[in-house]
Amino acid sequence: MYRGLLPYYLTISALISLPIWMLLLLPQILMEQGWSPVLIGWIIGVYFAVHLSVQISAGQVSSRIGNIGTATLGSVIAIAGGILYVVALVVPYLFFPARILHGGGAALVFAGALFLLVQSVPNHLKGRMMGYFGLPGFVMLAVGPLLAAYLNEAVGSAVMLASVPACFVVVLLLLRRLPQPLDPEKRVRPSFAQVFRTNLPRLRGILGISFVFGLSFAVWQTFLASTVGQRIGPSAVSWFGVGYGGGAILSRLGLAQHFDHGDRRLIAIASLALYALSLSLIPHGFRAWHLLVLGLACGLAHGTFYPGLSSLASERFHPLHTGPAMSLYISASTLGMFIGPPLWGSLVEFIGYSSLFGLAGIILFSTTTFFLIREWKRIDRTTHQGYKQAGYDA
């Protein structure tokens, strides 16, 4: 059943992602209006703060009003936020409530559609489906900055910002084509505290590396334009986005499918080392093609590691808490994306852009190394116990 409906899910994912990547130009717009780096960091980060809190509670929301109801509610909220983006060009501080509504609405749409998709496939395909659902986001990463730059120059920033509510209006129409949810009254509704206590021991390391990845991701998402835009020009963000999106698509449709199961998942996660190195080199890109190559490397790593990590996470979800546990998992990276912008914004004035990107790369590389060592020890312990139970001296 999910195969025939997969194009609808992928289109919804694309429409959630397109405004995010088009708004990579938002820091540049704010900078032209005289906003400080710290305030820009906060206005970028507030989106992820709300996105995080809503994602955490999305499992409980979907259990009460259904997955379609959750996504529909999110679309309406995001449309309201998108309208405020346009008004904020006249009343600048409305960017804060615009980001709040956009972040909350997008989180509900994402959660509702993803839960519905994942619940329609067998366990061994859940990680792969999570990867597929995220795939259009990488296409939009390539398309969004280019489209935003064109609209901004051709017809002005107001039209570019108006694309946000337009995307979610289309999402509302697509949701009508998806299967309706089961009767919410028949669903088990574990509290968040219960879900957290049950799943945290199973997911602790996975949540940790997801958080650090989100923290590192926030560096380029917030300060890429500021770091290389003046040296290379406005096209720098677009070149990086094209490379990132292309690399993620290539790996997600090819290499990643060979590394999203068994012990091979650790090889996929190890590709974050390439991401860390490329992230550190971004301030040293002096040509547009440098950004294209670095974006390609980051995209290849992102498209490879995420299905492997998601497969590992879905294997450890408590069987009675799949939806809320998934909310917990996808919220970990969002927490990093929320904390990252104001944290990096407060540091950049003291250490500069080059050191900032280097520090983020070092943190990501160190965390990845620690996680892989921990997981290999876990595998060794499991193998040793298996030998003992079979009567062998391991």
* Residue 100 scores a pLDDT above 90: yes
- At 302, list the tokens: 């992102």
Tell me the range of 7-16, 153-162, 193-202 where mean pLDDT is highest. Answer: 7-16
Overall domain count for the chain? 1
pLDDT in tens, 47-74: 878 887 887 777 778 777 888 889 999 9
pLDDT in tens, 365-391: 999 999 999 888 876 555 445 434 444
Number of other residues whose CB lies within 10 A of the CB of residue 355: 14
pLDDT in tens, 228-275: 766 776 667 778 888 888 888 888 777 656 666 667 788 889 999 999
362 within domain boundaries: yes
- Contact criterion met (CB below 8 Å) for 231 and 286: yes
The predicted structure's pLDDT at residue 183? 45
List, as own/partner pairs, every contact residues 285-293 make where C-beta atoms lie below 8 angstroms and the sequence separation is at least 24, other chains included: 285/228, 285/232, 285/236, 286/231, 286/232, 287/232, 288/232, 288/233, 288/235, 288/236, 288/239, 289/239, 291/228, 291/232, 291/236, 291/239, 291/240, 291/243, 292/239, 292/240, 292/242, 292/243, 293/243
* Residue 185 scores a pLDDT above 70: no
186 within domain boundaries: no
Number of other residues whose CB lies within 10 A of the CB of residue 13: 24
Please state the pTM of the whole predicted model. 0.69
The CATH code of the domain that includes 68 is 1.20.1250.20
214 within domain boundaries: yes
Segment 156-168 mean pLDDT: 90
394 within domain boundaries: no
The predicted structure's pLDDT at residue 342? 79
- Contact criterion met (CB below 8 Å) for 248 and 135: yes
Tell me the range of 130-134, 143-147, 294-298, 302-306 where mean pLDDT is highest. Answer: 294-298
The Cα 295–Cα 284 span in angstroms is 13
The predicted structure's pLDDT at residue 27? 80
The Cα 195–Cα 376 span in angstroms is 26
Range of the domain at 280: 2-180+191-389
> What is the pLDDT of the chain when averaged over all its residues?
80
List, as own/partner pairs, every contact residues 225-230 make where C-beta atoms lie below 8 angstroms and the sequence separation is at least 24, other chains included: 225/24, 225/25, 225/27, 225/28, 226/27, 226/28, 226/31, 226/37, 226/353, 227/282, 227/283, 227/353, 227/357, 228/282, 228/283, 228/285, 228/291, 229/28
Segment 14-24 mean pLDDT: 88
The predicted structure's pLDDT at residue 394? 39
